Structure 1
Amino acid sequence: MTYLPAEMIQLSDLVHVSTNLPNICDSFTKKSLSDYALTLKKSGLSLNSFRIHLVVITAFHQPIEGYSVLSHSITKRFFKSIINLFPQPQLPTPMWYLKLLLQGLTRPLFQPMTTCLLTNLSMKTVFLIAITSAKRIGKITALMLHPPYTVFFPDKVTLRPHPKFNPKVTSLFHMNQLIHLPVFYPKLFTKTNREAILHNLDVRGALAFYLDRTMAFRKSPRLFLSIAEGFKGSPISAQRVSKCVSNCIRQCYQICSMTPPDSIRTHSTRSVSSSVASFKNVPITDSCRAARWASVHTFAEHYAITGDSAFDAIFSSMVICN
């Protein structure tokens, strides 16, 4: 049998492939499907790309013994064996320390917000929104400027993305959710020098300064804009917003005379913010609602930063001190 080339079935090519795939799928058997899937895996495709191929075949293939290709018991066992034979390496992700970053954001490079570089103010504002809301970068990029999308109150600011923005999961639970960001240590009520410093981390104030300083050259109703020459005032892409967060982390490390991690995943802001909230006894259900996770298992399995190292150290010490 002549198999389809491994690179043929991609998401961008589904329309083209769908015209020829039904005839090819009719001749597939359980053995040929397994052989084809193994060929795909050996060609170097990742597990997710490998699954996409089988999903496309399933859409056109006739049921096998009353089951679709993906739900057949042989396919399930085959998937499990593929995972065992070709385990995906899980490289450790370099973590960054939130306390260090918050210290850096109160230093002169980011203060005062009326006169610091607009680049630094943009980094600070985007990072504070990302870390206090636990939202994905795509949703932060889709935030809009004018009411009812952005509304300032004396004690908070509420944000909302464009109604046509589609989140990763398009359900009522995930769609059109308001982001509430309260004032942090209001200036009128700061009594100590520490509280005055912490007021510099007020996300509502940072956003107000950002909007005021970008109002003169705005060309888009998006909340965050590009400040690069040639694109000044135009909407900024999600990739640039992500870069803004990672650059902010590096800058704060350098301010505190520390070496930043080699690679920084912007998505880790969701892990750090939700884990810090959990350590401070915030109910997990509240963290899941803020991050828009439908189940606590999503947080526990994919985002929670556990304190295993501390328990391991206690175990090691007790073994030696017998």
Structure 2
Amino acid sequence: MVLVVSEEVREAINARQPVVALESTIIAHGLPRPRNLQVALELEDVVRREGAVPATIAVLDGRPHVGLDKEQLERIANEDGIRKLGHRDLPLAVASGASGATTVSATALLAALAGVRVFATGGLGGVHREWTVTQDESADLGLLARTRITVVCAGVKSILDVPATLQRLETLGVAVAGYRTEHFPGFYLSDSGHPVDWTLQSAREVAEVMRAQDALDGPESALIVANPVPEAEQLDPELHARVLADALHACEEQGITGQAVTPFLLDYLVRNTDGASLSANLAAVRGNVRLAGRIAAAWAGA
């Protein structure tokens, strides 16, 4: 099998010990050096403090890895030419011997193939604004509709069309629950302004839903646990609304379309909030990783 599972992760899976999958795109493409490596090591430490084993996922020299050692993390953080890989890119990366950081869709797929059930990330991709014109939708949604994994996230990126994304998830049959909230979080914001149909109050309740998924033996779809960034650490809502409106206007003026839109908007937010959006992003990721560790422990029966 082409998949490489680290010894620590493999032993934990075989012993039914808690494991949490972590994506690597935030390391290679989401943060500046050397902060990216510091955050990668910090997030793994957060998982360990919750009694779980971290499984950061990436592709190195054409081999998908589930669980990276420090040297491999350093490669992802510091090496030039690290590609950004969605699940559609994996066969191409494997065949060509490429190295790349995995997005939500690629991380979820490789984690599920390795037998890891819980995955922590920042925010999901979703339906893009102006969908009726561009037909642009993240590959995350389709992949999660056919992959049995629990994804702890802070909702979807607020630069996207949030209500359309929630509707699309419903259409695809992907379960969504708020964690101790009745409102779907907005990534940088604790509340996107849209409700959720279900609320779960503890990691143990999440684990019970996971067990019910298996007992029902229904479609192999994901469970999304939407965990809001704490209000004290969210981006100021008024600042967010003003800067996002400016960013969307700048995007239109400069004729930016397709895959270039999301990185442009995210970079605009970082630069025009004096880094406050990045701080909110990291606060959300830390909280999601912490909760994922607790869910993995409850799932493992710890």
Q: Scaled by the length of structure 1, what TM-score is found? A: 0.22
Q: Which has the higher strand share?
A: 2
